[in-house]
């Protein structure tokens, strides 16, 4: 594997991005928040939660954490732009509404109109289960008034990709994917594969999660994955879990050679990607596996023909749990398998706005793309004392707590992005800075 400026012919360019993340609607907003170490978790008063419909008895529970990362204006939607009736827009899952808008914005950012684009565009996306919304549409009678069959196609997340493909006239593969927390990074991997095999000439990939009610908290249970205070302290000695959040993200992808020939703006490019599953090599269905994670990272490195010593940053899954953090670092150490120490920074966007579930992987991917584009290592929030079970001193990794310039030392800047789903589907992507940024 080579750390120099070489191309394998399998590179995939990131030519467009769009998202809705807590505290950030635009690319500029997100970059400022990441650069300045802003945490976008909302903490609610009892009055706010009562007005949102949270039961008083729940608010009195000492383990009820009154925090969540939320999205503004999820009830805004230009139905006419997408040729929906007001009734259709009313019943549509808010996740679908937001993702319609993000998809159009990603295409606009890439500079393409599906109606005039001569190639085919694929759509790979995933959303979280939204039982509360489906139940509301049934109990309110709106789905009955429209007809259960028609209504189900508007509030069932499994129609996410095909519904948008229909409205935007996307003629490539249209696939809705769900692998729990790793969903949206898996969509990026699948989109890259479709581009490499020629199933489409451009692809859109990402995910969305909107938790309802937005103003609401969760029950903390000791030893589980949720934080007792609403903060995520990945890799810190005080780490006790994640906060929950809503968000959406999507990227437009194209083979690098084609993107360069067409004069596209390139944010960064994918050198290699891989997915796998842990199988039974762990203590339980929801637990992580060192072997599974190490194997998927090795596979992505192998595909990209990348020397791990050339990677300067890894955007980790980084849930900030007592079990997950040490497993993730051990897997990274096995995958990198180098005697060099302290050369690769790690971080987790979950420390900024919690865990976005089906949108978590694309959030980390976009963060890494922006870091490469701007050539900065970004701060990881809430890190003071390393988890005592993680030996950072004898590893290639360190946790960055300050904004710092990212220097290439003669080779292109590269980053890894990990996302691991409950149930064992792991994904890893190797990113490299755009050719024009070197």
- Residue 187 contacts residue 207 (beta carbons within 8 Å): yes
- For the chain, the domains span 12-437
Residue 411: predicted pLDDT? 84
Cβ neighbours for 425, distance < 8 A, ≥ 6 positions apart: 179, 180, 182, 186, 275, 276, 277
Q: Which of 317, 344, 382, 428 is catalytic?
A: 317
Q: Which of 100, 189, 269, 355 is catalytic?
A: 355
Beta bridge partners of 414: 432
Q: What is the pLDDT of residues 357-406, one digit of tens each?
A: 999 999 999 999 999 999 999 999 999 999 999 999 999 999 999 999 99
The correct answer on CATH 3.60.150.10 for the domain covering 12-437 is: no
Q: What is the pLDDT of residues 105-120, one digit of tens each?
A: 999 999 999 999 999 9
Tokens for 73?
């204006």
**One of 100, 102, 181, 231 is an active-site residue; which one?**
181
CB 164 within 8 A of CB 170: yes
In the residue annotation, 231 being an active-site residue is answered as no
- Would you state the pLDDT for residue 408? 79
Compute the half-sphere exposure of residue 76: CA atoms within 13 Å on the CB side of its CA: 5
List of E strands, 96-158: 121-127
**Average pLDDT of the chain?**
94
Residue 219 CA from chain centroid, whole number: 24
**Where in 329-424 does DSSP place strands (E)?**
344-347, 376-377, 397-399, 404-405, 414-420
Q: What pLDDT does residue 436 have?
A: 79
> Which residues of the chain register pLDDT less than 50?
1
Residue 317 among the catalytic residues? yes
CA atoms within 13 A on the CB side of 238: 12
Q: Let me know if 344 is a catalytic residue.
A: no
């Amino acid at each position: 594997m080579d750390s120099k400026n070489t191309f394998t012919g399998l590179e995939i360019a990131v030519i467009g991005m769009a998202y809705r993340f807590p505290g950030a609607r635009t690319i500029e907003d997100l970059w400022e928040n990441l650069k300045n170490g802003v945490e976008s978790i909302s903490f609610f008063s009892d009055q706010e939660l009562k007005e949102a419909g949270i039961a008083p008895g729940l608010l009195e529970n000492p383990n009820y954490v009154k925090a969540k990362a939320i999205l503004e204006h999820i009830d805004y939607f230009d139905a006419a732009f997408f040729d929906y009736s007001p009734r259709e827009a009313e019943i549509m899952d808010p996740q679908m509404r937001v993702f319609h808008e993000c998809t159009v914005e990603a295409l606009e950012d890439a500079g393409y109109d599906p109606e005039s684009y001569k190639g085919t565009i694929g759509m790979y996306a995933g959303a979280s289960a939204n039982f509360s919304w489906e139940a509301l549409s049934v109990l309110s009678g709106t789905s009955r008034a429209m007809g259960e069959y028609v209504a189900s196609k508007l509030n069932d997340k499994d129609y996410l990709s095909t519904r948008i493909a229909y409205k935007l006239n996307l003629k490539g593969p249209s696939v809705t994917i769900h692998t729990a927390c790793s969903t949206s990074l898996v969509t990026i991997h699948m989109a890259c594969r479709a581009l490499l095999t020629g199933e489409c000439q451009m692809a859109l990939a990402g995910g969305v999660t909107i938790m309802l009610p937005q103003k609401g908290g969760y029950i903390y249970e000791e030893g589980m994955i949720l934080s007792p205070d609403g903060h995520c302290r990945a890799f810190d000695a005080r780490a006790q879990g994640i906060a929950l959040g809503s968000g959406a993200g999507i990227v437009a992808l194209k083979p690098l050679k084609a993107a360069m020939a067409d004069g596209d703006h390139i944010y960064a490019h994918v050198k290699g990607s891989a997915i796998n599953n842990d199988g039974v090599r762990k203590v339980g269905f929801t637990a992580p596996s060192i072997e599974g994670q190490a194997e998927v990272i090795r596979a992505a490195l192998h595909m990209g023909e990348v020397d791990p010593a050339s990677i300067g940053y890894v955007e980790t899954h980084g849930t900030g749990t007592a079990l997950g953090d040490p497993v993730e670092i051990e897997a990274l150490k096995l995958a990198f398998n180098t005697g060099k120490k302290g050369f690769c920074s790690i971080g987790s966007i979950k420390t900024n706005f919690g865990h976005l579930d089906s949108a978590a992987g694309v959030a980390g991917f976009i963060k890494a793309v922006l870091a490469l584009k701007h050539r900065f290592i970004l701060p990881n929030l809430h890190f003071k004392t390393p988890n005592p079970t993680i030996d950072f001193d004898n590893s290639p990794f360190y946790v960055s707590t300050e904004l710092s310039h990212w220097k290439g030392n003669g080779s292109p800047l590269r980053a890894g992005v990990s996302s691991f789903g409950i149930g064992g589907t792991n994904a890893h992507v190797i990113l490299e800075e755009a050719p024009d940024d070197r």
